[in-house]
Amino acid sequence: MEETVQRALDAVPRAPFLPSGLRRNAHQDRPLPLSHGQTNSQPSTVSAMLELLDVRPGHRVLDVGAGSGWTTALLAHLVGPNGFVIGVERIAHLALGAQVSLDETGPWPQASVRVATPGVLGAPELAPFDRILVSAEAGDIPAALIQQLGEDGIMVLPVGTVMTRVQRTGGAVDVTEHGLYVFVPLVED
């Protein structure tokens, strides 16, 4: 595991981002249920995604499907105080809980979670982003998110069951595949 990702996982424990009845299971390397059929991804999956994403201090990052807010906090640790992280979550109850967890585990002034705008994927009004993390399974690579990537931007997301890394360089988009994973579906509208 990449050293910077391991430091983030050590600095931002999973337990405070889980429902209170599941916090004792935070050490388990498996997805844990949240409300509304959503999950908090297993640590090894989160680690693999963060390594592929290659987040650096000062980056602007979009966290799509922020869920419990754990990945948003991890990203905030990785970007540092001069970076920016916005988590978007379609389920209002989860978005509010994620922001509370961020507030309780922070301070993370460079990070926040909000309810996604209906009919809008991502946060185009805040683009471009250096990195985009998508924690839900897309059927195809969403063009709306590619448009939100800045020059040399990287997006990591599961497409079907394949973890996919998308890098935008100039007008070109380079796509690589990195193993099989299972996620909840991405809601794009």
Helix (H, G, I), strand (E, B) or coil at 105: helix
Residue with structure tokens 């069951």?
161
Phi, psi dihedral angles at 72 (to 5 degrees): -60, -45
- Which residues lie closer than 8 Å to 112 by C-beta, 6 or more apart? 72, 85, 86, 87, 99, 102
Beta partners for residue 133, in sequence order: 63, 156
Q: Which of 20, 35, 41, 135 is catalytic?
A: 41
Whole-angstrom CA distances from 93 to 34, 97, 119 are 10, 6, 18
Q: What is the DSSP string of 28-51?
A: SSS-EE-STT-EEPPHHHHHHHHH
Handedness of CA 132, 138, 139, 143 (dihedral sign): negative
Q: Answer yes or no: 41 catalytic.
A: yes
Q: Which residues are catalytic?
A: 41
